[in-house]
Amino acid sequence: MDTKIQPLPATKHIALVAHDGKKAALRAWCNQHRAVLSQHVLYATGTTGHIIERDTALPVTKLLSGPMGGDQQLGAKIAEHDIHMLIFFWDPLASQPHDPDVKALLRLAAVWNIPVACNEATADMLLSSDLMQCEIDRHLPDYDKYLATRMDK
Ligand SMILES: O=C(CO)COP(=O)(O)O
């Protein structure tokens, strides 16, 4: 796969997601990192977004609830370069009825090479990075070249 470099902007669109067993942890984490998060643009799955907005007063664009399609909506936004970072406190001790959607979201985050944190320790490291405040280069699939090779089939 050919790749190209496309910058992630200094003001990042950050997706916030937590499974039910991790919602309290994400809410506490958002309060702890409120100052940094307030400099970026926040998105979330439905329930997570409502809780964060209510308890931190940070503005959040709320999509559908995860089991109703919210993970898939976030995945589509990653593929369209509308989301630049994913903080996903998924619960390793509970199975989810929408596990395929969760896997698809994490897969698209890997395809499009955005920073992802799946636990609090990694999320702390991401938010404390100097790179949160600057534009950063990332390699991502060169979709035009990918399409051109497929057209030869
Ligand atoms: O299920 C989720 C992620 O897979 C989160 O969805 P909610 O934020 O609606 O609970």
CA dihedral 35, 40, 45, 49 (to 10 degrees): 40
Amino acid at residue number 137: D
Look at residue 15 and give its three-state secondary structure.
strand
Position 134 scores a pLDDT of 97
Position 84 scores a pLDDT of 98
The pTM is what?
0.97
Pick the residue whose CA is nearest to atom 6 on ligand 1: 66
Which atom of ligand 1 lies nearest, measured to the CA of 48? Answer: 8
Residues in the chain, total: 153
In the chain, what's the furthest Cα-to-Cα distance? 53
Domain positions in the chain? 3-151
If you measure from the C-alpha of residue 46 to the centroid of ligand 1, how many angstroms do you get, rounded to a whole number? 7
CA 14 vs. chain centroid, Å, equals 5
Which atom of ligand 1 lies nearest, measured to the CA of 20? Answer: 10
Position 150 scores a pLDDT of 94
Determine if ligand 1 sits within 6 Å of the CB of residue 71: yes
Position 153 scores a pLDDT of 84
Contacts of 17 (CB under 8 A, 6+ apart): 26, 44, 45, 48, 66, 70, 71, 74, 86, 87, 88, 89, 90, 105
The whole-number mean pLDDT for each consecutive block of 10 residues of the chain, a chain of 153 residues, reads 95 98 98 98 98 98 98 98 98 96 98 98 98 96 94 88
The CATH classification of domain 3-151, taken from the options 3.40.50.1380, 1.10.3720.10, 1.20.120.1200, 3.40.30.10: 3.40.50.1380
Q: Is 81 labelled a binding residue?
A: no
34-50: pLDDT as tens digits? 999 999 999 999 999 99
Distances (CA, A) of 53 to 86, 90, 109: 17, 19, 24
